[in-house]
A = this chain, B = another copy of it.
Amino acid sequence: VAVSEASVITSIVAATAVRPGTAIGIDDDAAVLEPCGSVVLTHDVLAEGVHFRLPTSHRDLGWKALAVNVSDIAAMGAEPVAALVGLCLPGPDVLDIEAFYGGMEELAAETGTTVAGGDLSAGGGVVIGVTVAGRLRDDEAPLLRSGARPGDALLVTGSLGASEAGRTLLEQPDRAVGLDPGARDALLRAHHRPRPELGAARVLRDLGARALMDCSDGAVIDVGRMAVASGCGATIALDAVPRAGGVDAVARHVGMEPDLFAATAGEDYRLLAAIAPDRARRALAELPGSAVIGGFTAGSGVRTERSGAAIEVARPGYTHHV
């Protein structure tokens, strides 16, 4: 579930009802079906000109279309089982089907997912809709974004900013930013091949994380969503947000403070967790690259700080664009 406009969600919630059999509806990362206590569903749409630009690697596109959904499954504390793929294509040669599904299958194999069906249609633009169903282990409840409590630590499972830095590089002449080829490739790869954090989700669940979500639209806006869902506030220490290598150079190139760039960049698909501080310390030891970047508080709203002083965030969220 990634419907992003609140007014649209409100309309949908007003127009529809939750019925027996569905435990979690439109207000979390994925839908949970009750009959087995164990099935989790999610669906994301990727549109040409919005989420990607053709030509791009069709293998990468297949990978990413699955990855963004598997990330939602991970964010529920579940494991992916099956994916359905809906493709809308203006013509038969627009998408290399073999490369697209080949790239998707690379990630499917890594994550134990079956590409189990879908639909294909003609249409005016390239639109990719992927549904993933996942399962929860026996007797486990889904990990929602609404479980944070004041006093919980806010943990991120890895560095932020790499995907958006990679996307920025796609639009820049190479030498303008001054990155070495290795750093540049790593950023492009982060953009094209995000890696859903199923292992980190497992660790966080086992350590008793109270709330989990994936960070797709930027930490500041996504932490805000977690706080609202949990009925509390949150603080983000910009100094504590880990930044991927090369992000600082790209941020400065586009005239942004590197820490603000990282804290508001989208599509990294790291996990954000609310977890008791003592458990967070154990998570840091078990998840290299993870960091505590703030905490949840009584009240409401997200306070963004640098060296303890409040910082105004001009661009709190991330709008998908290419």
Chain A residues close to B by CB (< 8 Å)? 1-5, 8, 11-12, 14-22, 24-26, 28, 30-31, 33, 35-36, 38-39, 41-51, 81-82, 84-88, 97-98, 101-102, 104-105, 108-109, 112-125, 127, 129, 131, 133, 135, 320
The 6 closest A-B pairs by CB, nearest first: A124-B125, A36-B36, A47-B123, A1-B117, A129-B129, A31-B116
Shortest Cβ distance from A22 into B: residue: B114
Inter-chain contacts of A22 with B (CB < 8 A): 81-82, 114, 116
- Can you list 9 A-B pairs, Cβ within 8 angstroms, ordered by A? A3-B117, A17-B109, A18-B116, A24-B116, A26-B116, A33-B39, A33-B82, A45-B121, A121-B127
Q: How far is the CA of A222 from the CA of B119 in the complex (A)?
A: 16
A41 near B131 (CB under 8 angstroms)? yes
Shortest Cβ distance from A20 into B: residue: B112
Q: Which of these, B11, B82, B97, contacts A11 with CB under 8 Å?
A: B97
Given the known inter-chain contacts A3-B119, A133-B39, please indicate yes or no for A86 contacting B86, CB distance below 8 A. Answer: yes
Q: How far is the CA of A35 from the CA of B3 in the complex (A)?
A: 28
B112 near A21 (CB under 8 angstroms)? yes
Shortest Cβ distance from A319 into B: residue: B122
B51 near A135 (CB under 8 angstroms)? no
Q: How far is the CA of A3 from the CA of B39 in the complex (A)?
A: 24
Inter-chain contacts of A42 with B (CB < 8 A): 84, 117
Would you give the shortest CB distance from A82 to chain B, in whole angstroms? Answer: 5
Q: Which of these, B41, B50, B82, contacts A21 with CB under 8 Å?
A: B82
Q: How far is the CA of A38 from the CA of B133 in the complex (A)?
A: 13
Inter-chain contacts of A1 with B (CB < 8 A): 84, 116-119
A84 near B117 (CB under 8 angstroms)? no
A112 near B82 (CB under 8 angstroms)? no
